[in-house]
């Protein structure tokens, strides 16, 4: 049993024990009340009110209220009360600070009792059940409108407006349906800004306060975007379809289809998409007819039924063209991706060229067109996703890529150059990087190695620039999360105040219904104990969860920072190797070396954003790297990489770039300084069914001897590189329960070093 489970278990046990004790006491008290109550009156209702000081408007606590010696209650800390009454009853109100008041109940309206100089004045609040004035509702709705207006510009500002609306609802006791609207808007804010956990929490609050088809569909959407597909399906199936509008019914079936296709359950996805399409066609909901034809095409494509997929994609293309140019561009780009995946490059190129012309025809602000449609196209497209941008630079890149895949390098080059130019102008580093890399390869394939190399240097510079940008984005994301957390804490505090106020009133109501003078004190203690324990448990849970989440976020940020430090360091060292080799060898051999190096760089960059990669990929990367180092230092060492045949390397996961620094140290700081030819042995062996051991052993001069030969700059560089490795391993072990263990053994008499890495299966 882990610490989390133990903590929860202890809280639950204590709560249940106290609840059982309290229930027994409560039951006895309740039975006593029933025996002592002289009669039940007809047409009873809950009379609400508040006792206040007129000069300060502060509530009067612990004022006693009674009706005919059968109903009793006290005011809470805010001066509020609830008591069961009937028309014609006389309510006695007493407190040491004012004279006794006797009030005859003539209506069900709320009472306000003002105390001035020891005298109480009772005032009925007319039409209390419709209670809120037009000015208050206008202010409440205005804040929700402002929250919606700033939703896509500034999350914190938008949340602050919702917070103000909730404060108004708390101060004026707005209906649960209005409070539900506020929490629904809060969920929409978090959904747009990809804070799916918080969106789920607030949509659930909204639904629990006042369930509507809209907040239920929104909750299902949030579950889907958070990857909780089964919960999304469960939420959708709990919706009463009879309460849905025709448009919402289409959304309902489309959402089910999206969740099923994410679960690879294509028949269920197709069935629901077809149901939605039938309703959309019957009621002429044109945008949804286009969307659902496209999504049925997706199902067939995922099943490998390409002819059927073609038919539906052609339908969706024709329908999209009849809607508007933006929708046509969006659908054309999607179909072009399908053609590319099926190696139908000529058709793809024709479609993308047409798309490029259409994008140029758009008004200037729309020339970079973002696919949107969380509201119009179901769950599969995110409004806030950069990856869904259709822009001239991306279209030019995809056309160039299609020519490249057909080995039409001469035709590919102009489009790739246009892509780079457009991307540079629009500061789109990702597309510029990809297009530069592809352009280098195109020149390489045409045997123009000088141009290829110059462009490749531009690619490396772009990678460095992109890393810097990513680091800045991490810092900005951290600040954004802090602002969001601060705003959400304020909302949580308001919700606790609302629950506390409501809880106090409910507690007072229960006291008045069950308490006689003989057991008032006993039941007050019981309720206070239960309520206090509940609040403590809730507070402890939220504190524990927030601390755990913050720790996880800190670890993820630290990992990204360390990875961003490792990759430039590796690229710099590798480029030094390339430069040195080119300087000392003939051109043909240098080109062959550069080709191997390009393959290595591609693997490193592809894996650089992952916490773990399959061990098989890491071994492939290691083989290429070791081969390159041996290529350069053939007279210094021989090497062997041996993986036991009984190991399923694909079953094990390892942090990327973890083994390479140890091999680099062995070559550069051990074997390179050895006078005679040395050896490097890399051995992967099975320890248990879930544990393997990777050893990297050299017979170089050893670490101590190597330190004596290094300059101060070299010592700092190695220390930093190995220090980063140690930090990465420590953080990953904390996050994944000691998955990786590294031990470094110095062989006696300066005869080399052995690194032993133990890796556990997930």
Q: Give the CATH number of the domain where residue 145 resides.
A: 1.25.40.10
The least confident of 78-82, 289-293, 402-406 is 78-82
Burial category of 364 from C-beta neighbours within 10 Å (exposed 0-12, middle 13-18, buried 19 and up): exposed
Q: What is the CATH number of the domain that holds 725?
A: 3.30.565.10
Mean pLDDT of the residues in the chain: 78
Q: What is the pLDDT of residue 233?
A: 93
**Closest to 159 in 3D by CA, of 138, 187, 140:** 187
Q: What is the pLDDT of residue 651?
A: 83
Domain boundary residue, one of 99, 114, 131: 131
At 48-58, the pLDDT tens digits run 888 888 776 67
Whether 660 and 747 map to the same domain: the answer is: yes
How much of the chain is helix, strand and coil, in % rounded to 5?
Answer: 65, 15, 20
Whether 96 and 58 map to the same domain: the answer is: yes
**Closest to 499 in 3D by CA, of 120, 757, 491:** 491
Whether 191 and 54 map to the same domain: the answer is: no
Q: What is the pLDDT of residue 696?
A: 93
At 678-730, the pLDDT tens digits run 999 999 999 888 899 999 999 988 888 887 776 544 555 555 667 777 777 77
Whether 157 and 100 map to the same domain: the answer is: no
At 323-373, the pLDDT tens digits run 888 888 888 888 999 898 889 999 989 999 998 888 888 776 445 455 443
Q: What is the pLDDT of residue 223?
A: 94
Residue 431 lies in a domain: no
Indicate the number of domains in the chain. 3
Whether 127 and 140 map to the same domain: the answer is: no
The least confident of 329-338, 388-397, 456-465 is 388-397
Q: What is the CATH number of the domain that holds 99?
A: 2.60.40.1120
Residue 185 lies in a domain: yes
Of the segments 63-72, 165-174, 564-573, 671-680, which one has the largest average pLDDT value? 671-680
Domain boundary residue, one of 111, 131, 151: 131
Whether 650 and 740 map to the same domain: the answer is: yes
Whether 79 and 208 map to the same domain: the answer is: no
Residue 433 lies in a domain: no
Domain boundary residue, one of 109, 131, 153: 131
Residue 558 lies in a domain: no
Distance CA 275, CA 281 (A): 10
**Contacting residues for 53 by C-beta, under 8 A, at least 6 apart:** 60, 114, 115, 116
At 88-139, the pLDDT tens digits run 888 888 888 887 888 888 877 778 887 776 666 665 554 443 444 567 788 8
With a cut of 80, say whether residue 277 has pLDDT above it.
yes
Distance CA 289, CA 282 (A): 10
Whether 155 and 101 map to the same domain: the answer is: no
Q: What is the pLDDT of residue 38?
A: 39
* Phi/psi at 408 (5° precision): -95, 70
Distance CA 488, CA 122 (A): 40
With a cut of 70, say whether residue 33 has pLDDT above it.
no
- 3-state DSSP assignment of residue 535: helix
With a cut of 80, say whether residue 489 has pLDDT above it.
no
At 189-248, the pLDDT tens digits run 989 988 888 899 889 988 988 888 899 999 999 999 999 999 999 999 998 887 888 999
For residues 680 and 667, the answer to whether their CB atoms sit within 8 Å is yes
Residue 751 lies in a domain: yes
Whether 625 and 699 map to the same domain: the answer is: yes
At 576-612, the pLDDT tens digits run 766 776 676 666 667 777 787 788 778 777 777 777 8
* Phi/psi at 611 (5° precision): -70, -40
104: domain range?
A: 38-131
Q: What is the pLDDT of residue 401?
A: 92
Return the higher-pLDDT residue of 583 and 269: 269
With a cut of 50, say whether residue 387 has pLDDT above it.
no
Q: What is the pLDDT of residue 258?
A: 94
What is the distance, to the nearest Å, from the Cα of residue 653 to the centroid of all Cα atoms in its chain? 23
Residue 32 lies in a domain: no
Whether 751 and 617 map to the same domain: the answer is: yes
Whether 188 and 139 map to the same domain: the answer is: yes
**What percentage of the chain exceeds 70 in pLDDT?**
75
Q: What is the mean pLDDT of residues 15-31?
A: 49
Residue 19 lies in a domain: no
Whether 52 and 75 map to the same domain: the answer is: yes
Residue 355 lies in a domain: no
């Amino acid at each position: 049993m882990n610490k989390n489970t133990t903590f929860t278990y202890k809280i639950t046990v204590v709560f249940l024990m106290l609840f059982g004790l309290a229930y027994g006491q409560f039951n006895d008290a309740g039975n006593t009340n029933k025996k002592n109550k002289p009669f039940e009156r007809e047409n009873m209702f809950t009379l609400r009110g508040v006792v206040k000081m007129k000069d300060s408007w502060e509530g009067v606590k612990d004022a006693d209220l009674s009706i005919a010696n059968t109903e009793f209650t006290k005011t809470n800390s805010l001066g509020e009360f609830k008591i069961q009454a009937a028309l014609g009853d006389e309510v006695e109100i007493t407190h040491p600070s004012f004279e006794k008041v006797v009030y005859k109940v003539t209506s069900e309206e709320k009472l306000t009792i003002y105390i001035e100089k020891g005298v109480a004045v009772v005032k009925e609040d007319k039409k209390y059940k419709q209670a809120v004035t037009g000015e208050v509702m206008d202010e409440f709705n205005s804040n929700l409108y402002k929250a919606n207006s700033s939703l896509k510009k500034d999350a914190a500002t938008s949340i602050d407006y919702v917070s103000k609306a909730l404060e108004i609802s708390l101060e004026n006791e707005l209906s649960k349906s209005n409070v539900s609207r506020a929490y629904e808007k809060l969920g929409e804010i978090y959904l747009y800004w990809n804070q799916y956990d918080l969106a789920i929490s607030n949509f659930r609050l909204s639904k629990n306060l006042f369930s509507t088809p809209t907040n239920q569909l929104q909750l299902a959407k949030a579950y889907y975007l958070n990857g909780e597909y089964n919960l999304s399906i469960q939420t959708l199936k709990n919706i009463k379809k009879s309460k849905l509008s025709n448009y919402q019914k289409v959304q309902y079936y489309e959402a089910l289809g999206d969740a099923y296709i994410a679960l690879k359950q294509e028949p269920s996805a197709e069935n629901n998409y077809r149901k939605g399409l039938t309703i959309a066609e019957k009621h002429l909901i044109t945008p949804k007819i286009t969307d659902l034809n496209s999504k049925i095409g997706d199902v067939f494509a995922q099943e490998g039924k390409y002819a059927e997929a073609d038919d539906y994609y052609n339908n969706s293309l024709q329908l999209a063209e009849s809607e508007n140019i933006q929708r046509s561009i969006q659908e054309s780009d999607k179909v072009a991706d399908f053609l590319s995946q099926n190696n139908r490059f000529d058709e793809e190129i024709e479609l993308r060229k047409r798309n490029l012309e259409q994008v140029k025809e758009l008004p200037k602000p729309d020339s970079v067109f973002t696919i949107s449609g969380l509201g119009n196209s179901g769950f599969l497209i995110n409004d806030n996703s950069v990856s869904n941008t259709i822009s001239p630079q991306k279209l030019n890149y995809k056309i160039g890529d299609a020519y490249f895949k057909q080995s039409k390098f001469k035709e590919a080059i102009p489009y790739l150059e246009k892509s780079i130019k457009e991307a540079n102008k629009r500061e789109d580093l990702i597309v510029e990087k990809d297009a530069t890399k592809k352009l280098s390869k195109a020149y390489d394939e045409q045997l123009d190695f000088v141009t290829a190399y110059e462009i490749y240097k531009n690619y490396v510079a772009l990678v460095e620039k992109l890393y810097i940008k990513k680091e800045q984005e991490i810092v900005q994301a951290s600040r954004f999360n802090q602002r969001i957390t601060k705003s959400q804490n304020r909302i949580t505090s308001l919700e606790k105040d609302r629950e506390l106020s409501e809880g106090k009133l409910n507690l007072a109501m229960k006291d008045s219904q069950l308490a006689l003078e003989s057991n008032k004190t006993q039941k007050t203690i019981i309720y206070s104990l239960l309520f206090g324990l509940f609040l403590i448990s809730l507070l402890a849970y939220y504190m524990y969860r927030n601390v755990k989440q913050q720790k996880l976020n800190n670890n993820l940020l630290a990992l990204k920072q360390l990875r961003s430090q490792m990759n430039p360091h590796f690229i710099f060292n590798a480029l030094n190797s390339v430069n040195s080799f080119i300087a000392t060898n003939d051109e043909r051999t240098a080109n062959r070396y550069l080709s191997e190096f390009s393959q290595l760089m591609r693997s490193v960059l592809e894996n650089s954003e992952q916490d773990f990669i399959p061990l098989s990929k890491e071994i492939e990367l290691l083989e290429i790297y070791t081969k390159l180092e041996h290529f350069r230092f053939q007279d210094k060492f021989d090497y062997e990489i041996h993986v036991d045949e009984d190991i399923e390397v694909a079953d094990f996961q390892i942090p990327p770039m973890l083994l390479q620094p140890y091999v680099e140290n062995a070559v550069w700081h051990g074997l390179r300084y050895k006078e005679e030819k040395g050896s490097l042995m890399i051995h992967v062996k099975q320890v248990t069914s879930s544990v393997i051991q990777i050893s990297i052993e050299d017979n170089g001069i050893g670490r101590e001897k190597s330190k004596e030969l290094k300059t101060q700059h070299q010592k700092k560089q190695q220390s930093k590189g190995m220090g980063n490795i140690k930090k990465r391993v420590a953080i990953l072990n904390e996050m994944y329960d000691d998955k990786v263990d590294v031990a470094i053994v110095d062989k006696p008499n300066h005869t080399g070093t052995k690194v032993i890495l133990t890796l556990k299966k997930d």
